[in-house]
Amino acid sequence: MSDSKTDPQTADTLPDRLSIDPRSPFFNGEVLQRDVGIRFKGVEKTNVEEYCVSENWVRVAAGNAKDRYGNPLTIKLTGTVEPYFKDKKPA
């Protein structure tokens, strides 16, 4: 079996779907420890809560609005999603 920490091909591969919410099943702390950047429709976004590359959407915070549990309200936007590691040197 191949270990993703030692395999260079999978070490720089981002998951198809990723969330910053620890309660989400798509949360991955190891990936988030590296600095992940998101380009949405060609524009750098810094307020992305969750993304899905295969379904072409991002979920972003809706201003300072909070739900009754204190979590930020989010809006789902559709378009081209390009996640990348900021620490990776461009080729």
Q: Can you tell me the distance from the alpha carbon of 90 to that of 63, in angstroms, rounded to the nearest whole number?
A: 32
Question: Which residues make Cβ contacts (< 8 Å) with residue 23, sequence separation at least 6?
Answer: none
The pLDDT score that the predictor gives to residue 12 is 74
The pLDDT score that the predictor gives to residue 7 is 42
The pLDDT score that the predictor gives to residue 4 is 45
The pLDDT score that the predictor gives to residue 39 is 96
Written as tens digits, the pLDDT of the chain (91 aa) is 444 444 444 467 899 999 999 999 999 999 999 889 999 999 999 999 999 999 999 999 999 999 999 988 999 999 999 999 988 655 5
